[in-house]
Amino acid sequence: MTIVDRFLKYVSFCTTSDENTGMTPSTPGQMEFAKYLAQELKSIGLTEVSLDENGYVMATLPANLASMRDVPTIGFIAHMDTSPDASGKHVKASIVKAEERDYIDARYKGQDVIVTDTTTLLGADDKAGIAEIVTAMEYLVQHPEIQHGKVRVGFTPDEEIGQGADHFNVKAFGADFAYTMDGGAIGELEFENFNAAVCKIKVHGLNVHPGYGYHKMVNSMRIAYQLAVMLPRWETPEHTQGYEGFYHLIGMNGTVEETTLSYIIRDHDRARFESRKRELEHLVRKVNREFGEGTVEIELRDQYYNMREKIEPVMYIVDLAKSAMESVGVTPNVKPIRGGTDGARLSFEGLPCPNIFAGGENFHSRYEYLPIPSMEAAKNVILEIIKQA
């Protein structure tokens, strides 16, 4: 099966994750896809294929070295779910020339690109990564003359809702280091990411008849609005880039009686990250002093941290990825992730895990697309890393 055919098969599975179900995987389509992948990995010749009750798939490409020289066990990881930000059901994918769609970047002119009919996202994030890993493994099985050490592959559920590493068994995976194939455009190589937290603010009010509300009514929506506008207006996703952090209001739901604000907090710098959380707590205290203790409640929860501190002691694994890219004609673009990957949390659990491009663009959008040469290049980078290790 070609890498394109494989990818097109994968996007036929609806694997949108859902943070509200309380299950792992959070949606049944992910387990259905996991079962398919486990069977596929067996069929292409991988060993030690496992699928656990939480939907995590792992497998091994055994070493075939002629000598017993010391080589590391390398892992490659990608996630099976797609973002809840847009529908991933009934994906209608097609192959077009880049210039046929005005939302495709001009640098891909002349290339074959996989797109949707724009009613759903495509699922290149991260089914492209899975297709690249599986196709590379199949190639190595079919070409035993290429000597290599042991390779482990892992596919996770629920990365898009921040739970992809929740049940990942690092010890069972058994790799010395790994790469997530979860980056964007061709050449991206990332070893630092946001520190991340989620915040839920609940505002309590009191509803009475509006004609008799004088000095009685407490409108929770107005208080929530007051609190929201106290945050710096320029420190939002639409006004920040590079290493700049932000507060992002991702949800609001309210009545006079009760209003909830949901935020995500992001910053590459750990000190500024902690400062952002303290600022939210300060604003809640300030509002409570005005309207009464207990009017506003806050719940803060850290999600993941910047993996840079765990990667820097083993920077040779970043250098290996850069060398592999250059060897296959890809110019490395080392940049910080304005987001996170499973690799961020896995790095803190003892599995150093930089992030490599999967090739897609406009992730989480109905205008997501995947240049086929970028997907082929990512597969070649995987093969080259294994050869050079």
Asked if residue 127 lies in contact with residue 10, where contact means CB atoms within 8 angstroms, the answer is yes
Asked if residue 268 lies in contact with residue 243, where contact means CB atoms within 8 angstroms, the answer is yes
User: In sequence order, what are the residues at sequence separation of 6 or more whose Cβ sits closer than 8 angstroms to the Cβ of residue 243?
Assistant: 268, 269, 336
Q: What is the DSSP string of 246-274?
A: EEEEEEEEE-SSEEEEEEEEEESSHHHHH
What are the residue ranges of helices labelled H in the chain? 3-10, 28-43, 124-142, 170-173, 220-228, 270-291, 308-311, 316-327, 342-348, 372-388
Give the Cα separation of 129 and 344 in Å (integer). Answer: 17
Q: What is the DSSP string of 196-212?
A: EEEEEEEEE-B---GGG
| Furthest CA-CA distance within the chain | 87
Question: What are the backbone angles phi and psi of residue 46, rounded to the nearest 5°?
Answer: -80, 160
C-alpha torsion sign, points 356, 358, 362, 364: negative
Question: For residue 126, is the peptide bond before it cis, meaning its omega torsion is within 30 degrees of 0?
Answer: yes
DSSP state, 296? Answer: E
Task: Find residue 82's DSSP bridge partners.
Answer: 16
Asked if residue 223 lies in contact with residue 287, where contact means CB atoms within 8 angstroms, the answer is yes
Active site residues: 81, 159
Q: How far is CA 379 from CA 72, 80, 366, in A?
A: 20, 17, 25
Q: How far is CA 179 from CA 154, 168, 308, 389, in A?
A: 10, 14, 14, 13
